[in-house]
Amino acid sequence: MQPRNRHRKHSILSKEGKCWSDFYKYVKRRKGNRENIPAIKDCNGRIITDAIEKANRFNSYYSTIFSSEENILHIQGENTGNPFTTDVKTIRIRIKATGKNKSVGPDRVSGEILKLGGEAMIPCLARLLDITINNGKLPGDWKRATVISIHKGGDRSLVANYRPVSLTSVVCKQMEHVIAAYLRHVWDKND
Query: Could you tell me which residues come within 8 angstroms of residue 76 by beta carbon, excluding any fewer than 6 positions away?
Result: 82, 83, 84
Query: Could you tell me which residues come within 8 angstroms of residue 172 by beta carbon, excluding any fewer than 6 positions away?
Result: 105, 107, 138, 142
d(CA 40, CA 157): 4
Residue 10 has what pLDDT? 45
Q: pTM for the whole thing?
A: 0.60
Outline where 36-169 has alpha helix (H): 51-65, 88-97, 111-135, 140-143
Residue 67 has what pLDDT? 62
Q: How far is CA 150 from CA 3, 6, 118, 142, 166, in A?
A: 49, 44, 34, 22, 11
Residue 62 has what pLDDT? 85
Q: How far is CA 79 from CA 75, 82, 83, 186, 190, in A?
A: 9, 8, 10, 10, 12
Residue 121 has what pLDDT? 86
Q: How many helices (H) and strands (E) does the chain have?
A: 7, 6
Residue 24 has what pLDDT? 63
pLDDT by residue for the chain (191 residues), tens only, comes to: 444 544 444 444 444 445 666 666 655 655 544 557 888 888 888 899 888 998 889 888 888 887 655 554 555 544 556 788 888 888 888 888 888 777 788 888 888 888 888 888 889 999 999 998 888 888 888 888 888 888 889 998 999 899 988 888 988 988 888 888 888 888 888 87
- Which helix (H) or strand (E) element contains residue 5? none
State the maximum Cα–Cα separation within the chain, in Å, rounded to a whole number. Answer: 83
